[in-house]
Amino acid sequence: MSSAFTAWARNTTIPAWAAKESELVPAATAPTVAPQVADTTPAADEPAIRLKLAEDAELLREFHSESLELLQNIEQGVLVLEANPKDPGTINSIFRAFHTFKGGAGFLHLDALRDLAHDLESLLDAARRSDLAITSDIIDLILAGADTLKQFTTEIGAQLDGTNVGAPIVVPTKQLVGRVRAALRGEQAPVASRVPPPAPSVAAAPKAAEATAAIRAVTEAAPEPKSPSPASGVPPLSAGGRPSSSPAADGAAGFVKLDTQKLDTLVDLVGELVIAQSMVIQNPDVQRLPSRTLARSLRQLGRITTDLQRNAMSLRMVPIRATFQKMTRLVRDLAAQQQKQAQLVLEGEETELDRGIVEQLADPLVHMIRNSVDHGIESPTDRQAKGKPMLGTIRLSAAHQRGGIVIRIQDDGKGLDRERILAKARERGLLKPNATPSDAEIFALIFAAGFSTAETVTDISGRGVGMDVVRRNIEKLRGKVEIYSVAGQGTTFTILLPLTLAIIDGMLVGVGDDRYIIPTLSVRESFRPRPGMVSTVHERGEVVSVRGRLTPLLRLGQHLGTPGRAAEPEEGIIVVVESGDAARGLLVDELIGKQEVVIKNLGETFKRQNLLAGAAILGDGRVGLILDVDTLVNCRTNEA
């Protein structure tokens, strides 16, 4: 790891925010910082910083964007440094990242942030010169500093987005600066309260290239820092400590920052082009023309349009790396808080999926990782008594599978307590006393609102809040979550997601003269019912018997107010769809086929129609309505 990491550091160029080198504070030899009780009261004389939004808005946007990336890289690097505290490449890269942040803060006259970054830079410089030993307390100190800088940077983003505009930003830095300087002198310093890391977020893209040019004009004229190995920050790392491939070594020239609104507009226009091309090819007047030349040209147009669509959609795709790596810090802090030993192993960090999905995936992952640490991983003594290694492992992986993305959170902990979940569910009336659910159905009960088997409530979990939100948020992304658990061996959460929110792979069905699209991921099976398969059950309405199980049946035409041609179920097709652990049969007139469609918003006219998730223009120019399967599965049969 060390040689590869050092090679990366030596080949990385300093970004635009690199600023003039300040004289470093001398350090004593190999001090350690003793942990003490945190003083959570901010100093009364903490400096208040007012942003000059009118004059510096674009510069602040650039600083905000680059600083969040720098601080994320710092955090990942510090976690690597904790495992290998003497690696010079890692130390030097973190040093350079703090130096770069300091330059940007100084340029914008954010003096309190500049001073804190400078002192943290000095701490790393002392470690580079072997004048300071990297201990667990020094690691905590650096992380506390990075958290404080991140909190301030997040406040900048909030004001740029219109929240608390003009309000002074007060971030406690004096005690933290005192701790850092005491560590540099080899003294024992009072421990300031650590600023909790801000919630995972994606930085907004900067909107002015001239802002970057202006800053580069100032900062690139400044002398280089004295370190012989320039690096802008720490590259994304896997839990194993190996640096991921980074484009930084090729310089910034290979990348262009683009306003996401422009990107979305491009994708929408390409979608319109695909629809127009399909309408031309399927136009009866065109199909009747005998010209072979025209036919060849249309095929060529189809190939070019498909390639253009594929490439345009790839612009929306981003690696899941950044979201995954934020979980490493979460596991570290939660394990320390609970006096457990746990590591997070990351796999498939380069897996790409739609930017919109990545942005909404962080919160569900946080909830599930917290549950794995809190409920899954045992204490070191318990693990040792069971013959397990004292260090628990949580494995977070992503991979492409069947045209979608599969994300797994797997731990080697104690597993779910089947009998306890069953007893709690019966106590709450979620199951009938004589019900005999399968393991999958029992485990799915933890997604019920307010469900918890915890005997005590902690600040981490125990209130039954979170897992129901997890499933709801994942289903909003047109995905689903499954659970597999073995007592004493661990639990695996599997999340199935589509690659993109802009295009859907759907089953096209007909009801009367209308066309509806059912997302393929929600379809369990389809069949033509035989006589006797459909019956009416008291208080449940119509049901269809599928391999001995009664599934509620919904006549889609009647439910949506569309006259269907199938007067009896045997004359139509039943499509069984599922949402979570529930399923429902939809009676339609015909299956037309499978089709990939571009999703369109319904607009204000259908805003309150919760049975529809969107619309799509089909190849023949007709409009197909995309069904909201979650609502259809869970609605009552008398709802319209």
Q: Give residue 87's pLDDT.
A: 87
- Amino acid identity of 223? P
Shared domain check, 586 and 532: yes
- Report the CATH number that the domain containing residue 43 is assigned in CATH: 1.20.120.160
Shared domain check, 384 and 303: no
The model's pTM is 0.62
Which among 440, 468, 498 is the end of a domain?
A: 498
Neighbours of 410 (CB within 10 A): 20
Shared domain check, 279 and 349: no
Distance CA 381, CA 392 (A): 12
Which among 316, 332, 356 is the end of a domain?
A: 316
Residues with Cβ < 8 Å from 509, sequence gap 6 or more?
A: 515, 516, 517, 518, 556, 573, 575, 586, 588, 589, 590, 591, 592
* Domain-embedded: residue 31: yes
Q: Please count the residues of the chain.
A: 640
Ranges of residues in the chain with a pLDDT under 70 are 1-45, 187-255, 402-403, 453-465, 580-581, 603-608, 636-640
* Domain-embedded: residue 38: yes
* Domain-embedded: residue 246: no
- Report the CATH number that the domain containing residue 617 is assigned in CATH: 2.30.30.40
Shared domain check, 419 and 521: no
**Nearest in space to 73 (alpha carbons), one of 8, 7, 158, 123:** 8
Q: Give residue 464's pLDDT.
A: 45
CA within 13 Å, CB half, 252: 13
* Domain-embedded: residue 255: no
Shared domain check, 66 and 143: yes
Domain of 471 in residue numbering reads as 318-498
Shared domain check, 489 and 591: no
Neighbours of 224 (CB within 10 A): 13
Shared domain check, 186 and 222: yes
Crossing angle (nearest 10°) for helices 53-83 and 209-219: 70
* Domain-embedded: residue 254: no
Shared domain check, 323 and 292: no
Shared domain check, 519 and 411: no
Q: Give residue 636's pLDDT.
A: 64
Q: Give residue 188's pLDDT.
A: 54
Domains in the chain, number: 4
* Domain-embedded: residue 252: no
- Report the CATH number that the domain containing residue 292 is assigned in CATH: 1.10.287
- Report the CATH number that the domain containing residue 458 is assigned in CATH: 3.30.565.10
Residue in the structure block whose two tokens are 């299956």: 591
Shared domain check, 158 and 304: no
| Beta-sheet strands, E only, within 91-221 | 169-170
* Domain-embedded: residue 248: no
Residues 147-197 have pLDDT tens digits of 989 988 888 888 888 887 778 888 777 788 888 888 888 765 444 444 444
Which among 480, 498, 516 is the end of a domain?
A: 498
Shared domain check, 181 and 229: yes
**Nearest in space to 415 (alpha carbons), one of 459, 372, 465:** 372
Residues with Cβ < 8 Å from 275, sequence gap 6 or more?
A: 598, 617
Render 545-590 in DSSP notation, one character per residue.
EETTEEEEEEEHHHHHT---S-SSGGGSEEEEEEETTEEEEEEESE
Query: Which strands form 490-498's sheet, in the order they lie side by side?
Result: 342-347, 392-401, 404-411, 490-498, 480-486
**Nearest in space to 323 (alpha carbons), one of 299, 346, 296, 342:** 346
Q: Give residue 484's pLDDT.
A: 92
What's the Rg (C-alpha) of the chain?
29
* Domain-embedded: residue 625: yes
Shared domain check, 325 and 200: no
Q: Give residue 331's pLDDT.
A: 92
